[in-house]
């Protein structure tokens, strides 16, 4: 009895903690996802290296999705800018990075500049393309802006895809290239590798002192020998730090007079203008900052995360993924964005990749028909396995898209404010309630509005 009460008490306390503290909420969610995927790994009989690897994946995808969703939230959640050209801006970021840093002798040739220059250059290029888009397009209605941005993103993708710029020569004789349909794969490898390997581009080159120590530690404790797993995990943690930094940056943007104007623009642009705010300037700056962050996300995800960029990675589907994530989290909230990104990355993106193997292993399904008729035909004979085999082995990615679509429709019909509810964060650089001069009524006394004494309608 009393221990029951005690437990409910603890539970309520915990729930209150989650409601009060965004950090606790995010950490709890991440802990849940890590547990979930450890479970997945256990079902699949992974060894310790496999388990660490799966945790590294969870960290990576959560982080990159959180990053890009935060950037979109700045556009859509903060300023109401309906940008559905995200994939294009990501492409500009990572392609610029790759073209700036790839070796001049490679194929396609690059400029061979340092990685840092590449990252900053990628962000600047994405911001510039954002500026070119924003200058004319921000005057447009939201749905026109959507069509323009998706068209621009396709123009960007088709341009990178075109053989015309596969390699070209800049004035001055400097050769450069996008690699056309096959993309660029020879830009410098993930800078995190420099922590562990003497030559970051080759694991065989020998380990640095740090590398030796860390690998040695993991080997001693877990018996892990695959260093790549540890490198990936490290990169995931680096990304988590980046997400934290970007979150802090955006929280500052939101909790400031600048963010207040954005909020006003989203609600009623005419009012913001009538109060003397040059709303176009605010929108352009916001659009450029968001695009720069999208460029950064492209660099960290498709660039260093994948190790090669190619145009097909930037189809509009990617944009819609990110939209779904932001809608799940609830547009307008940075914490919601991180959570939305995490939910999408783990439950809708990563988990379905493990599902078929898990189900097959559990139910030992062998059938693998290669077309729908062959899959449903045997049902007449009472055999369901071919259909399951068809679904699991042939069509699970397609069904995932179908599910995502259904989810989107469901959300629009039932919870347009987001799965995690509508969260509002006060837009001010200081705690506004504190300013109440002593002696007056207290600012926290929230009389219900209809009881307010001023209304005599």
Q: Cis ω on the peptide bond leading into residue 25 (within 30° of 0)? A: no
Which string of x and - marks every residue 383-412 that binds another protein (by CB under 8 A)? ------------x--xx-xx-xxxxxx--x
Quick note: the x/- pattern for another protein over 168-207, rule CB under 8 A, is ----------------------------------------
15 binds another protein (CB under 8 A): no
141-150: long-range pairs with CB below 8 Å, 24+: 142/80, 142/82, 143/82, 145/81, 145/82, 145/83, 146/82, 146/83, 146/84, 148/85, 149/82, 149/83, 149/84, 149/85, 149/88, 150/84, 150/85, 150/316, 150/319
Shortest Å, Cβ 424 to another protein = 7
Report the C-alpha gap between 39 and 46 in whole angstroms. 10
Q: Is residue 438 at the binding interface for another protein, with CB under 8 A as the rule?
A: no
The distance of closest approach from Cβ of residue 331 to another protein in the complex, given in angstroms and rounded to an integer, is 11
Binding range to another protein, per CB under 8 A, among 66-74, 119-127, 205-213, 370-378: 370-378
Nearer to another protein, 206 or 443 (CB): 443
Size of the site for another protein (CB under 8 A): 100
169 three-class SS: strand
Which residues within the stretch 137-166 sit at the binding site for another protein (CB under 8 A)?
137, 140-144, 146-148, 150-152, 154-155, 158-159, 161-164, 166
Residues with Cβ < 8 Å from 391, sequence gap 6 or more? 375, 399
Q: Which stretch binds another protein (CB under 8 A): 53-61, 258-266, 358-366, 380-388?
A: 258-266
Nearest to another protein of 362, 424 (CB atom): 424
Min CB(383)–another protein separation in Å = 16
The count of C-alpha atoms lying within 13 angstroms of the C-alpha of 320, restricted to the half-sphere facing its C-beta, is 11
Check binding of 307 to another protein (CB under 8 A). no
Q: Interaction with another protein in 64-123: which residues (CB under 8 A)?
A: 82
Label each residue of 262-306 as H, E or C. Answer: HHHHHHCHHHHHHCCCCHHHHHHHHHHHHHHHHHHHHHHHHHCCC
Which residue's CB is nearer to another protein, number 42 or number 155?
155
Binder of another protein out of 16, 19, 47, 267 (CB under 8 A):
267
Read off the tokens for 442.
């207290």
């Amino acid at each position: 009895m009393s221990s029951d009460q005690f437990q409910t008490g603890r539970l309520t306390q915990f729930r209150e903690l989650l409601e009060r503290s965004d950090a606790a909420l995010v950490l709890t969610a991440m802990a849940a996802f890590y547990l979930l995927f450890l479970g997945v790994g256990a079902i699949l009989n992974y060894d310790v290296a496999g388990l660490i690897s799966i945790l590294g994946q969870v960290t990576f995808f959560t982080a990159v999705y959180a990053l890009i969703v935060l950037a979109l939230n700045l556009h859509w959640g903060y300023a109401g800018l309906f940008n559905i050209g995200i994939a294009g801006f990501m492409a500009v970021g990572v392609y610029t990075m790759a073209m700036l840093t790839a070796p001049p002798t490679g194929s396609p040739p690059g400029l061979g500049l340092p990685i840092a220059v590449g990252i900053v250059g990628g962000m600047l290029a994405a911001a510039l393309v954002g500026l070119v888009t924003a200058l004319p397009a921000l005057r447009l209605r939201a749905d026109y802006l959507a069509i323009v941005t998706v068209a621009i993103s396709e123009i960007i993708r088709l341009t990178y895809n075109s053989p015309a710029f596969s390699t070209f020569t800049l004035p001055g004789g400097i050769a450069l290239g996008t690699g056309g349909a096959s993309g660029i794969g020879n830009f410098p490898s993930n800078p995190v590798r420099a922590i562990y390997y003497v030559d970051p581009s080759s694991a065989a080159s020998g380990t640095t002192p740090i590398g030796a120590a860390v690998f040695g530690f993991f080997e001693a404790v877990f018996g892990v020998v695959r260093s790549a797993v540890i490198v990936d995990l490290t990169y995931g943690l680096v990304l988590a730090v980046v997400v934290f930094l970007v979150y802090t940056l955006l929280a500052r943007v939101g909790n400031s007079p600048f963010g207040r104007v954005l909020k006003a623009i989203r609600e009623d642009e005419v009012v913001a203008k009538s109060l003397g705010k040059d709303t176009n300037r605010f929108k352009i700056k916001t659009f450029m900052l968001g695009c720069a962050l999208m460029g950064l996300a492209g660099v960290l995800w498709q660039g260093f995360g994948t190790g090669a960029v190619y145009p097909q990675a930037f189809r509009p589907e990617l944009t819609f993924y990110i939209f779904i994530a932001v809608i799940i989290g609830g547009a307008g909230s940075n914490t919601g964005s991180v959570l939305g990104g995490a939910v999408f990355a783990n439950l809708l993106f990563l988990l379905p990749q493990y599902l078929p193997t898990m189900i097959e292993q559990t139910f030992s399904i062998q059938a693998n028909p290669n077309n729908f008729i062959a899959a449903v035909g045997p049902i007449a004979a009472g055999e369901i396995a071919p259909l399951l085999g068809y679904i699991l082995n042939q069509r699970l990615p397609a069904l995932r898209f179908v599910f995502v679509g259904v989810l989107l429709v469901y959300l629009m019909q039932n919870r347009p404010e987001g799965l995690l509810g509508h969260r509002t964060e006060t837009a001010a650089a200081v705690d506004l309630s504190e300013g109440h001069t002593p002696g007056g009524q207290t600012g926290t006394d929230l009389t219900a509005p209809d009881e307010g004494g001023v209304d005599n309608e």
